[in-house]
Amino acid sequence: MYTLPFPLIPLVLAVAARFLVHDAELGYDRWRKLSIVLVVLGMVVSWVYPSSPFRLLTRDFQSVCYEAGNRLKIHASSTVISIGAGPYPEHGVGWEAGYKASFFGGARLIGVLDSLPDPDQITSVVADVAKASPSAVLIWGRADEKRYSALIDGIEAKYPQSTRETVVDPILGACGTIFFVDR
């Protein structure tokens, strides 16, 4: 079965919509019926087209950002530093995860490092975090990554009194950690 390419569907709907409104000057009842058929056909194709976003997106990949943002709100974090990338870069939750989490949490993002530092850079990253004096440090990554574990240890050593919470994705499990820094 041949289907209309998905980008053409809005064009078909736009052209057909003009004839949906009754117009005494136009007076083409046949065109009006044809346009109704085109609109219905366009809607059906958009729902059955194999690449349609209505069929492909089965979950909200930003749920980790919502969760992190809610935790930032609960702890009344005003400033945040984000380190690392979120778990779904192909769905817009990669380097953007820190920005989205701080937005959802109503916090100001004062520092971003979109990848986890190498082990020999951790001391300088921890020193930079201390200079910025954030109320929360959001670290994206998985526990099986050496750079993630090393950075967690470095932040924990710098802020031993901080509260630590894990950000959990419903499918992947733990994918980040938030340190709420006591001042």
Residue 138 corresponds to which tokens in the numbers above?
């959001």
Phi, then psi, of 56 in degrees rounded to 5: -85, -40
Burial class (CB in 10 A: 0-12, 13-18, 19+), 50: exposed
pLDDT at residue 43, rounded to an integer: 75
Confidence (pLDDT) at 142: 92
The pLDDT of residue 1: 44
Tens place of pLDDT per residue across the chain (183 aa) = 445 455 666 666 666 666 666 666 666 677 667 777 777 787 777 777 666 555 556 678 899 999 999 999 999 999 999 999 999 998 889 999 999 999 999 999 999 999 999 999 999 999 999 999 999 999 999 989 999 999 999 999 999 999 999 999 988 999 999 999 975
Alpha-carbon span 139 to 166, nearest angstrom: 10
Q: Which two tokens stand for residue 120?
A: 């020999």
Sheet holding 173-180, edge to edge: 108-113, 79-83, 136-140, 173-180, 163-169
pLDDT at site 35: 73
The pLDDT assigned to 91 comes to 83
Is the separation of the CB atoms in 125 and 154 below 8 Å? yes
Residue type, 137: V
Backbone phi, psi, residue 132, to 5°: -70, -25
Report the C-alpha gap between 70 and 108 in whole angstroms: 14
- Exposed/middle/buried for residue 14 (C-beta within 10 Å: 0-12, 13-18, 19+): exposed
The pLDDT of residue 182 is 73
Domain ranges of the chain: 6-56, 63-180
**Do β-strands 108-113 and 163-169 pair in parallel, antiparallel, or remain unpaired?**
unpaired
What CATH number belongs to 63-180? 3.40.50.2300
